Amino acid sequence: MSLQQSLAIVLQVKDHGDSDKIVTLYTLEHGKIVLIAKGAKRSKKRFVNKLELFSLLVIHFVPSRHSSLMRLDQADLQDPFPRLRENYELYIAASLLCELVLHWTREHDSDEVLFRLLVWALEGLSTARGGAKRTIIFFHVKMLDILGYRPDLTGCLDCRVLGAPGVLYRFSPLRNGLVCSRCELQATANSQPLSIQTIQLLRRVQDMEQGKLERLHFSLAATREAIALLKRYDNHLLQREVQSWGFLG
Ligand SMILES: [Zn+2]
């Protein structure tokens, strides 16, 4: 089959035998794909400094009909995001974005909007456009939207009210939405208390365009609650731990 070309972000790199590497990429045209880079460990020249986590590449590869593991022929570096490698917090944030895409997407299921969101978020981290945690929250909320897992934050799932005086709200990953303390007297397992401020912030993010992130104020408390919610939601829906959350300070 003929050589194909695509823009790609490196999501994961693993050594394979003595001389090869297995690279998982999120590509513009083909979604997530796993490729073998023959000789990448031995021949430094061909792939030097290219197969690094979250680098933006133009890849040339040979699609395979018979095995799911395709061969990476060539990789040209478009943007290595050097700043993200010099700062621990940014490195963890960028790693988290890539790990989320790694676990939330299926192979060969392309989504141009998600690809461009990932590149936009990495560029944002790299240029200190919006703050690492704000970028993570924004990216995650938008990613859930794109993939069809938008949490319902419009009101309590049972009584549909939001913001009734003296009423507390919890987010239920199981029901993918809010429940209030009037409808559910006892908190169900795995649900998380959410303040009205955090609910409103997340709703604004859901409806906001990418370019306007800087206009949004994230209080420390709302940032903490939003991150706890997204982490819990990941664990519930992916049924696995997203490891990078654990390194986020
Ligand atoms: Zn209710």
Question: Cβ(208)–Cβ(142) under 8 Å?
Answer: no
Instruction: Tell me what the mean pLDDT of segment 9-28 comes to.
Output: 94
**Residue 20 is assigned to a structural domain of this protein:** yes
Residue 3's domain is classified under what CATH number?
2.40.50.140
State the amino acid at position 240 in one-letter form.
Answer: R
Question: Cβ(5)–Cβ(60) under 8 Å?
Answer: yes
**Residue 16 is assigned to a structural domain of this protein:** yes
CA 196 to centroid of ligand 1, rounded, Å = 14
Q: What is the pLDDT of residue 3?
A: 87
CA 174 to centroid of ligand 1, rounded, Å = 16
**Residue 213 is assigned to a structural domain of this protein:** no
Paired tokens of 115: 């690809």
**What is d(CA 36, CA 55) in angstroms, rounded to the nearest whole number?**
17
Q: Tell me: the pLDDT tens digits for 134-168?
A: 999 999 999 999 999 999 999 999 999 999 899 99
**What is d(CA 67, CA 51) in angstroms, rounded to the nearest whole number?**
22
**What is d(CA 238, CA 128) in angstroms, rounded to the nearest whole number?**
29
**Residue 21 is assigned to a structural domain of this protein:** yes
CA 197 to centroid of ligand 1, rounded, Å = 17
CA distances from 230 to 43, 126, 143, 241 (A): 41, 22, 11, 12
Q: Tell me: the pLDDT tens digits for 170-203?
A: 999 999 999 999 998 777 777 899 999 999 999 9
**What is d(CA 246, CA 227) in angstroms, rounded to the nearest whole number?**
11
The range of the structural domain enclosing residue 23 comes to 1-80
**Residue 11 is assigned to a structural domain of this protein:** yes
CA 241 to centroid of ligand 1, rounded, Å = 30
- Dmax (CA) of the chain: 66
CA 159 to centroid of ligand 1, rounded, Å = 4
CA 163 to centroid of ligand 1, rounded, Å = 10
CA 147 to centroid of ligand 1, rounded, Å = 27
**What is d(CA 54, CA 236) in angstroms, rounded to the nearest whole number?**
25
CA 189 to centroid of ligand 1, rounded, Å = 17
CA 138 to centroid of ligand 1, rounded, Å = 27
**Residue 224 is assigned to a structural domain of this protein:** no
**Residue 31 is assigned to a structural domain of this protein:** yes
CA angle 146, 147, 152 (to 5 degrees): 85
Q: What is the pLDDT of residue 1?
A: 66
Residue 210 binned pLDDT confidence (cut-offs 50, 70, 90): confident
Q: Quick one: 158 exposed, middle or buried, by C-beta within 10 A (0-12, 13-18, 19+)?
A: middle
Chain-centre distance of CA 10, in angstroms? 13
CA 153 to centroid of ligand 1, rounded, Å = 12
What is the H or E stretch that residue 206 is in?
helix 196-207
CA 190 to centroid of ligand 1, rounded, Å = 18
CA 129 to centroid of ligand 1, rounded, Å = 38
What is the 3-class SS of 112-166, one letter each residue?
Answer: HHHHHHHHHHHHHHHCCCCCHHHHHHHHHHHHHHHHCCCCEEEEECCCCCCCCCC
| pLDDT above 90: residue 11 | yes
State the amino acid at position 132 in one-letter form.
Answer: A
Q: What is the pLDDT of residue 146?
A: 96
Write the DSSP symbol of residue 212: G
Q: Of 30, 116, 102, whose CA–CA distance to 68 is shortest?
A: 30
CA 181 to centroid of ligand 1, rounded, Å = 7
CA 238 to centroid of ligand 1, rounded, Å = 27
| pLDDT above 70: residue 100 | yes
**Residue 85 is assigned to a structural domain of this protein:** no
CA 97 to centroid of ligand 1, rounded, Å = 33
CA 215 to centroid of ligand 1, rounded, Å = 31
Q: How many domains does the chain divide into?
A: 1
pTM over 0.85: yes
